[in-house]
Structure 1
Amino acid sequence: MSSEVMAIEQVTLNGNTVTLLPLQAGHAEPLVQAAEDGELWNMKVTVIPGPATVETYIATALAGRVAGTVMPFAIVHRATGKIVGSTRFWKIDRKNRKLEIGHTWLGQSVQRSGLNTEMEYLLLEYAFEVMQCVRVQFTTDELNEKSRAAILRIGAKQEGIVRHERIMPDGRKRNSVRFSIIDDEWTEVKALLQAKLARFS
């Protein structure tokens, strides 16, 4: 398949409870308000924007979109119309038809509410069925047990631990856990996620 299949196109993805909007510079204040729900910027196992970092956070994401390697989203809770977090496709590799879903976070009050499951479903469906990916990967901090459990719950398989994969803002050398879903597994994962969503509805 030609590399054009993976051509970057920033789309809006709509579900029953969540909408993924193309991230914009104007989303800075709503993102900070979302992260304030639980003061998520104080977490040591991930990087979530706060008042002092949100503009750089967005600028980096938008630069990646221009470069064709990132597709960043603001997560909107449809019931309230409010932005409640952010996620993105990144490390988009057109030639090898693979990417990573990451930089994902939700305000504390909407965690474990079904929003994350539907968001992941929308992203995976688009990655495998529209972008024709053969691999979607996830990476999280070895210490982030909550994130590791969430990734396993959506049907991804753990591949291993990448030692000293990145340096965190506090200087800690982070070991990261890598997970993936491949195209051969998508039909089964899709059915799993649809069943989960049916229980939430």
Structure 2
Amino acid sequence: MVDWKTMLQQPTLTGNTVALIPMSLEHGPQLLQAAADGELWNMTVTVVPGPGTMDRYIATALEGRRTGTVMPFVIVQLATGAIVGSTRFWKIDRANRKMEIGHTWLSASVQRSSVNTEAKLLLLTYAFEVMDAVRVQFTTDELNQKSRAAILRLGAVQEGIVRHERIMPDGRKRNSVRFSMIDTEWEAVKAGLELRLGP
């Protein structure tokens, strides 16, 4: 376990097929290319940055890192070296040793692959085994059935629905579904994720 001040010096997390690299301003063009794979910015059940919003997206993430509440990553596919998406820790609460994993999106060509599973395993391992988290939560749109199913497959527990939790870019008042994992569940969750990824 490391001190939280040291922890906020964001690491690179490396697995067998992906690496999570600290986000920087220089990643903008590659992130835009990744989002263009499927034109993800047109999705209505999540917010993915596009040509007009990428700079602000990165700036907001980096400001969160500066204040110690966000740890943003780009997801790099090791076989190609290409950035294929983004994810982050956010709502980092040092006093209560909890955080949320979110703002996760993947290029259409790597969806339904092992990329998301391995990225989540890297994040969760760091959260529970390095940051000594007692709780990690996930939130997704009530209408996003694919995301809800994916979070459950990770081993998270659905806690409930938060009504009108945020307003989407099109003005829709979004109900969000909240999931969590806690420290006493981590050993079993980790075993399940490692089994899914294979040797």
- Tell me which interval the TM-score lies in, with the shorter structure as reference length: over 0.9
- CA drift of 1:57 comes to 0.2
Q: Quick check: 1:125 aligned with 2:114?
A: no
Amino acid at match of 1:112: R
Amino acid at match of 1:131: M
Amino acid at match of 1:188: A
CA contact (8 A) 1:5 1:131 kept: no
Amino acid at match of 1:171: G
Counterparts of 1:10 and 1:133, CA distance in 2: 16
Counterparts of 2:34 and 2:3, CA distance in 1: 36
Counterparts of 2:178 and 2:136, CA distance in 1: 11
Counterparts of 1:29 and 1:43, CA distance in 2: 20
For residue 28 of structure 2, give the secondary structure of its aligned residue in structure 1.
helix
Q: Which runs of 5+ in 1 are unaligned?
A: none
Counterparts of 1:30 and 1:86, CA distance in 2: 11
Q: Quick check: 1:38 aligned with 2:43?
A: no
For residue 31 of structure 2, give the secondary structure of its aligned residue in structure 1.
helix
- CA drift of 1:6 comes to 7.9
Q: Number of aligned residue pairs: give it.
A: 199
CA contact (8 A) 1:6 1:97 kept: no
2:67 is aligned to 67
Counterparts of 1:4 and 1:57, CA distance in 2: 25
For residue 57 of structure 1, give the secondary structure of its aligned residue in structure 2.
helix
Counterparts of 1:171 and 1:26, CA distance in 2: 31
CA contact (8 A) 1:121 1:193 kept: yes
Q: Aligned ranges for residues 42-191 of structure 1 at < 5 Å?
A: 42-191=42-191
- CA drift of 1:9 comes to 2.1
For residue 83 of structure 2, give the secondary structure of its aligned residue in structure 1.
strand
TM-score normalised according to structure 1 size: 0.96
Counterparts of 2:89 and 2:145, CA distance in 1: 22
- CA drift of 1:113 comes to 1.1
Amino acid at match of 1:76: V
For residue 159 of structure 2, give the secondary structure of its aligned residue in structure 1.
strand
Q: Deviations over 1:44-77 (max 9, x none)?
A: 0111010100000000000000000000000000
CA contact (8 A) 2:4 2:131 kept: no
TM-score normalised according to structure 2 size: 0.97
Q: 1:84 to 1:2 in 2, by over 3 A?
A: closer
Q: Aligned ranges for residues 19-38 of structure 1 at < 5 Å?
A: 19-38=19-38
Q: 1:154 to 1:67 in 2, by over 3 A?
A: same
For residue 132 of structure 1, give the secondary structure of its aligned residue in structure 2.
coil
Amino acid at match of 1:173: K
1:16 is aligned to 16
Runs of 4+ in structure 1 off by over 3 angstroms are 1-7
- CA drift of 1:8 comes to 1.4
Residue identity over aligned pairs, in percent, reads 70
For residue 84 of structure 2, give the secondary structure of its aligned residue in structure 1.
strand
Counterparts of 2:78 and 2:106, CA distance in 1: 14
CA contact (8 A) 1:6 1:94 kept: no
Q: Deviations over 1:149-177 (max 9, x none)?
A: 00000000000000000000111000000
CA contact (8 A) 1:6 1:132 kept: no
